[in-house]
Amino acid sequence: MEESNRFISPVDRKDVMRAEMKALPEDPDTQCGVGACKPRFMKRCGNIICFTAFYSLAGLFSSTISMYVNSQITTMEKYFGFSSSQSGFLMSCNDIGFLLTTIFVSHNARRVHIPRVLSIATIVFGVSGILCSLAYFLSPTFMTEGQGLLKGQDIGEGQNVYVNDSLTTFTKGGQLCDGAGKEDCLHVDVSNAEIKVGAPTNFTPVALTILAIGMFLQGFAKSPRQPFVTCYIDDNVKKTSTGMYLGAIMALSIFGPAIAFGLGGFFTQIYISLEEVSINPRDPRWVGAWWLGFLLFGFLAILAGIPVFFFPRRLKPRPADHADGKSGLLENTKEILKGLWKLVTNRLYMLVVLASCLTLFSVGGTLAFQPKYLETQFQIPAWFANLVMGMIGVFAAALGSFLGGCVVSKFKLSPIACAKLILGISSFAVLLPIFGYSFGCYNPEIVGFNTVGNSSNDFADCTDSCLCDDGDYFPACGSDGRNYFSPCHAGCSDQQGQTFVGCGCVGVNGTASPGLCPTDCNMLIPYVAVTFFGGLVAAMAAMPSIIFSIRCVTDKQKSLAVGFSTFLQTLLGWCPGPIVMGMVIDTSCLTWNSSCRGQGACSMYDIEDFKLKRHVIELAIKFVTLLMHIAMLIIAKRTDWSQYDNEETVTAKPETEMLMISNGKAKRSLTGYKDPIVKKT
């Protein structure tokens, strides 16, 4: 009988395989559904393409919520009176929550039901977004009739509202030349002090706490995303196809920030109370509806996370002799420490990871305050800065990541080839900060701050009796085309609607309007073009770096390697980047929004100093990263890659896999099957 089986035709052998497969019980871990509820129509979705499609949508909204706060930083600073240092801390809370869980989560990737964990994590993302919006709904200005500034009336006329049961008068539209002078905090009850846009209030620390908790939750939910998705895909497809599927998910998730900045720009054009007011977004007192995005994207993330919950534990049957490793807490901890030591002593792995940490330190700090940089450098409103960010940074990163994944998959790049590609991209990236610095603007001339009127005597005469507060910055554009530090410094004695009149320093019948005059700096378009192209090329290194990092470790170390790399990238890159950059930006501040309650957000920056510090830091980081990539390539060429068990995985047809399971290891050698999890012996 055994002799005759050698002459069975391929067609007959295939029929035998199908017959034996039908006789085998179905593996519940490869079936879509929950518990006993596993409808047959869901079987069509039990494949890598459907998983990639559904999780791409969940990842899209997760990344949207993560990045949305970046698009609203300047708006939230105005509303709550945050400094850039406080804003940087707020954005880093996301990464702090991530750091607390990522190592443990990554090590246990194969001990849990990955799709269900990813589903729950996406839902938590949604909850965090809704929680962040509560900072607005719980604020005293929402709970009272005033709604933050004026409700349906001309802002600048002054209006009394009740805040915390105390009568408070909102600030007028900039100080006037009325001899009132600076507010004396020694003789003013702080609870009844004037409220200014950008100045802190009693609710500021409460708002910071609420938003920080929401960002912490995002960090907890983010920890399983990259290691779980990477392992789930890499375990269920050919290894040469991993880059393509990961690239597709990464590309779509990067469109999340594009949506965040795009809709963030739209929401900043809507006044915070959703009501019609007489000022426009260019007015220094304008505060956009920042909370809308948190609420919208929060609900969308919850909806997108539900379908992922029904995907199977694995998409391919597993050999019968394979069992998931399960151990106690002590043994599990020992395994983690042992695995971490092997990773730390792996020179190739540490070089590629530390280089990415430096890159992400720069990216994290730059991305967090890029809208603010665009607003201050090119004097554009917040909504337009968000729109530009969506176009240049996010679309370039999405396209670059996808192209990088396609290049790796199509050309089946070896680890050394990936290292060469990374080095080439890194060499080009060193030039970007130089071009970025070249395409910038100069500080505007502002009468009453860094310049005077037609003559110093005339300026002194027209403001002599005004008693202007030189710390209360409220830019005004005079009818003579010059910028003034405030309506008071323009000698304006009255306000009609949104126009300041009686401006003696401007000229006869001189007037002024809120905001700086249009700038003659035309560097925005060149800056956008260079940044887009640079971001596109730089993003192409993301996927080769990921592939290189998981190819220079064994399959057994893979999930921990991915988790440890994201841990280090967060600890040394994403987390400190915004904090350090926020502190650096604060050193470029010239005037602050302040009140008797304390110092709040910066109202005017030295944009030349801002530009210099930002690009010098970026250039230094890119140069060090280039040196690390050179060392990585040299070591990679001298490495014996046979020590890593990352050979090509042959994905058999379903009926062949089921037959292999029924016959055990003996059939494995006949089909070329290799389990992607178990180390080859």
Dump pLDDT digits (tens) for 540-590.
888 899 889 888 888 888 878 887 887 888 889 988 999 999 999 999 999
Q: In whole angstroms, how far apart are CA 449 and each of 389, 444, 557, 604?
A: 31, 10, 60, 11
Residue 658 placed within a domain: no
Closest alpha carbon to 519 in 593, 445, 452: 445
Regarding whether 539 and 498 lie in a shared domain, the answer is no
pLDDT band at 419 (very low <50, low <70, confident <90, very high): very high
Does 149 score more than 80 pLDDT?
no
Regarding whether 508 and 533 lie in a shared domain, the answer is no
Tell me the pLDDT tens digit for each residue of 101-148: 777 776 666 677 888 888 899 999 999 999 999 999 988 765 443 333
Residue 592 placed within a domain: yes
According to the model, what pLDDT value does residue 179 have?
A: 61
Q: Which two tokens stand for residue 260?
A: 């965040």
Regarding whether 612 and 579 lie in a shared domain, the answer is yes
Decide which of 497, 514, 531 is a domain's last residue: 514
Residue 57 placed within a domain: yes
Does 248 score more than 90 pLDDT?
no
Decide which of 272, 287, 315 is a domain's last residue: 315
Does 182 score more than 80 pLDDT?
no
According to the model, what pLDDT value does residue 74 have?
A: 86
338 Cβ contact partners less than 8 Å away, ≥ 6 residues apart: none
Helix (H, G, I), strand (E, B) or coil at 500: strand
Regarding whether 413 and 344 lie in a shared domain, the answer is yes
According to the model, what pLDDT value does residue 35 have?
A: 64
According to the model, what pLDDT value does residue 605 have?
A: 93
Q: Which two tokens stand for residue 666?
A: 């003996």
According to the model, what pLDDT value does residue 608 have?
A: 94
Check if the beta carbon of residue 287 is closer than 8 Å to that of residue 139: no
Check if the beta carbon of residue 217 is closer than 8 Å to that of residue 128: yes
According to the model, what pLDDT value does residue 152 have?
A: 33
Closest alpha carbon to 64 in 387, 297, 268: 297
Regarding whether 202 and 107 lie in a shared domain, the answer is yes
Residue 518 one-letter amino acid: P
According to the model, what pLDDT value does residue 175 have?
A: 78
| Higher-pLDDT residue of 239, 589 | 589
Regarding whether 384 and 410 lie in a shared domain, the answer is yes
Which DSSP string corresponds to 294-307?
A: HHHHHHHHHHHHHH
291-308 helix and 114-137 helix, angle to the nearest 10 degrees: 160
According to the model, what pLDDT value does residue 667 have?
A: 35
Q: How many domains does the chain have?
A: 3
Residue 620 placed within a domain: yes
Residue 59 placed within a domain: yes
According to the model, what pLDDT value does residue 613 have?
A: 94
According to the model, what pLDDT value does residue 126 have?
A: 93
According to the model, what pLDDT value does residue 280 have?
A: 81
Average pLDDT, stretch 509-532? Answer: 89
Regarding whether 372 and 309 lie in a shared domain, the answer is no
Radius of gyration of the chain (CA): 30
Q: Which two tokens stand for residue 511?
A: 């007037």
According to the model, what pLDDT value does residue 163 have?
A: 35
Average pLDDT over the chain, rounded to whole? 78
pLDDT band at 199 (very low <50, low <70, confident <90, very high): confident
Please give the Cα distance from 40 to 654 (Å, whole number). 17
Among 229-233, 287-291, 571-575, the minimum mean pLDDT is found in 229-233
Please give the Cα distance from 212 to 218 (Å, whole number). 10
Regarding whether 408 and 297 lie in a shared domain, the answer is no
Regarding whether 598 and 456 lie in a shared domain, the answer is no
Residue 202 placed within a domain: yes
Regarding whether 393 and 261 lie in a shared domain, the answer is no
Regarding whether 273 and 127 lie in a shared domain, the answer is yes
Among 157-171, 405-419, 581-595, 632-646, the minimum mean pLDDT is found in 157-171
Residue 323 placed within a domain: no
According to the model, what pLDDT value does residue 30 have?
A: 66
Residue 504: give the domain boundaries. Answer: 446-514
- Identity of the highest mean pLDDT range in 36-40, 471-475, 655-659: 471-475
Please give the Cα distance from 347 to 633 (Å, whole number). 11
**pTM, rounded to two decimals:** 0.73
According to the model, what pLDDT value does residue 92 have?
A: 87
Does 38 score more than 70 pLDDT?
no
According to the model, what pLDDT value does residue 318 have?
A: 60
According to the model, what pLDDT value does residue 624 have?
A: 95
Regarding whether 222 and 116 lie in a shared domain, the answer is yes
Average pLDDT, stretch 298-315? Answer: 86
Among 197-211, 297-311, 323-337, the minimum mean pLDDT is found in 323-337
Closest alpha carbon to 56 in 239, 311, 277: 311
Average pLDDT, stretch 293-307? Answer: 92
According to the model, what pLDDT value does residue 607 have?
A: 93
Does 642 score more than 80 pLDDT?
no
Residue 286 placed within a domain: yes
| Higher-pLDDT residue of 661, 254 | 254
Residues 392, 393, 396, 398, CA torsion sign: negative
Average pLDDT, stretch 329-355? Answer: 87
Tell me the pLDDT tens digit for each residue of 352-396: 999 999 999 998 888 888 888 999 999 888 888 888 887 777 678
User: Could you give the angle at the alpha carbon of 680 between the alpha carbons of 675 and 681, nearest 5°?
Assistant: 135
**CATH code assigned at 642:** 1.20.1250.20
Does 192 score more than 70 pLDDT?
no
Tell me the pLDDT tens digit for each residue of 583-635: 999 999 999 887 777 788 888 999 999 999 999 999 999 999 999 999 999 99
Main-chain phi, psi angles of 484, to 5 degrees: -125, 145
- Identity of the highest mean pLDDT range in 83-97, 206-220, 323-337: 206-220
